[in-house]
Structure 1
């Protein structure tokens, strides 16, 4: 199969993490499309425990969120930050729900890429749940932050490299 002819595979292989953005705002329509893509991710028992919080540049919590990560410059430069949370009472299996949240984030990253936007998955920001949830004015007993996706119009070309597949295979197969 020629992967360049398949739009899904083309999107997977061409998506890159973008950490620098222009000042142009991202439209509400594009943000809703990205959230919809996240909503359609698979989850164990189809429980869909994820919840979304959109923090735009004009939200007073935007600066507080930036202060919660060593990558504050990325948050400050983003037009919007999409916070992906798990609602604790909707969870049934920590491992499966965390995996589902990862699938949700990946769907969102692919949707942003498909719309010509730039995005990056910020994971370090979840290391201090209490401070980050406080900055977002959310309760630690209700939510667990999984990731923040910084989103905007790209002001850079992303680059990446990958290990050879042979390095990742535990054993070869026939």
Structure 2
């Protein structure tokens, strides 16, 4: 394996899910930069079906969303939440569009990391689509919630481990 210390490959190795945040706010420009990173994710036929809703700490919908997940403490501590949805009438292939949403979310997590922010992909919240969409005032007939990204200034160091690459290979090449 080639050892590379390029900024991109370093960010891929160093990005961690952060679930504890300080009280310091996140600037609007930082959130826009994160959204812009998501906007540039690949999508099938370049349909870009994702849509974003930003919910800040002073928005009453934050508490309503907290009630929709077992990670309520993360939602309540965050400086901002980004709801990532797929616009149903912009979708053309469920699998490809869901994959694109995942790429979009990963781009945003990497952008948050690059800006020195902490972020975590909250996926459990989508287990009750109707409740989460209702809490965020997002029309369920138009949008499908993919995740909520909680972000803020990190109040913890993240940690992670990975399986050996050989354990992930279906066969040697």
User: Where on the TM-score scale, by shorter chain, does this alignment land: which range?
Assistant: over 0.9
Q: CA RMSD in A?
A: 0.6
Give the Cα separation in 2 of the matches to 1:153 and 1:27.
10
In the alignment, what sits opposite 2:26?
26
Give the Cα separation in 2 of the matches to 1:7 and 1:91.
33
Q: TM-score, normalised by structure 1?
A: 0.98
In the alignment, what sits opposite 2:120?
120
Give the Cα separation in 2 of the matches to 1:19 and 1:92.
34
Q: What 5-or-longer segments of structure 1 have no aligned partner? A: none
In the alignment, what sits opposite 1:111?
111
Give the Cα separation in 2 of the matches to 1:132 and 1:119.
19
In the alignment, what sits opposite 1:2?
3
Shift of 1:51: 0.1
Shift of 1:2: 3.3
Shift of 1:34: 0.1
- Give secondary structure in 2 for the equivalent of 1:101: helix
- Give secondary structure in 2 for the equivalent of 1:132: helix
- Give secondary structure in 1 for the equivalent of 2:156: coil
In the alignment, what sits opposite 2:171?
171
Structure 1 stretches of at least 4 aligned residues deviating more than 4 Å after TM superposition: none
Q: Does 1:15 align with 2:20?
A: no
Give the Cα separation in 2 of the matches to 1:2 and 1:33.
29
Q: TM-score, normalised by structure 2?
A: 0.98
In the alignment, what sits opposite 2:66?
66
Shift of 1:139: 1.1
**Per-residue CA shift, 1:42-90, capped at 9, x if unaligned?**
0000000000000010011010011110000000000000000000000
What is the total number of aligned residue pairs between the two structures?
Answer: 172
**Per-residue CA shift, 1:107-155, capped at 9, x if unaligned?**
0000000000000000000010000000011111100000000000000
- Give secondary structure in 1 for the equivalent of 2:58: coil
In the alignment, what sits opposite 2:149?
149
